[in-house]
A = this chain, B = another copy of it.
Amino acid sequence: MSIVFSQNSPIYLQLVEIMKLKIVIGVWPVGEKVNSVRDLALLFEVNPNTMQRALAELERQGFLYAERTAGRYVTKDQQLIEDTRHGMAEAYIVDFCENMKELGYSKDQIIDLIIKEAK
């Protein structure tokens, strides 16, 4: 897979964000089984312990659940997934606007720049 991890935050937290994204956009579908800890560790090229830690965190947040010896599954809670998708978008928007205003850009300038970038 050869992901380049940032040096400035723990790999296990980056894994959490990457896998959470796969869940909220449906690449890992609701209720479906995910690969084993060891396979995911190979896939993402990290140590199994690091992957285990990321999976435990996703479990703590409700996005995955483990069945002791049968494997690990994506949550069946569609509501959580959709709420998370909207929550992430809202957080991106608020952060972005705050950052731009801090940098001295007006509301109209922000809108103009986004229209230029997005189209």
Which A residues are within 8 Å of any B CB, using their own CB? 8-10, 13, 21, 24-25, 85, 88-89, 92-94, 96-97, 99-100, 102-105, 107, 110-111, 113-115, 117-119
Contact = CB atoms under 8 A, between A and B. Distances in A.
A62 B38 CA distance: 45
Given A8-B9, A25-B102, A114-B97, A107 B89 contact: no
Given A89-B105, A110-B118, A111-B111, 9 more contacts: A25-B102, A88-B99, A89-B100, A92-B96, A93-B96, A93-B114, A96-B114, A111-B114, A114-B114
Contact of A85 (B21, B104, B119): B104
Contacts of A8: 9-10, 13
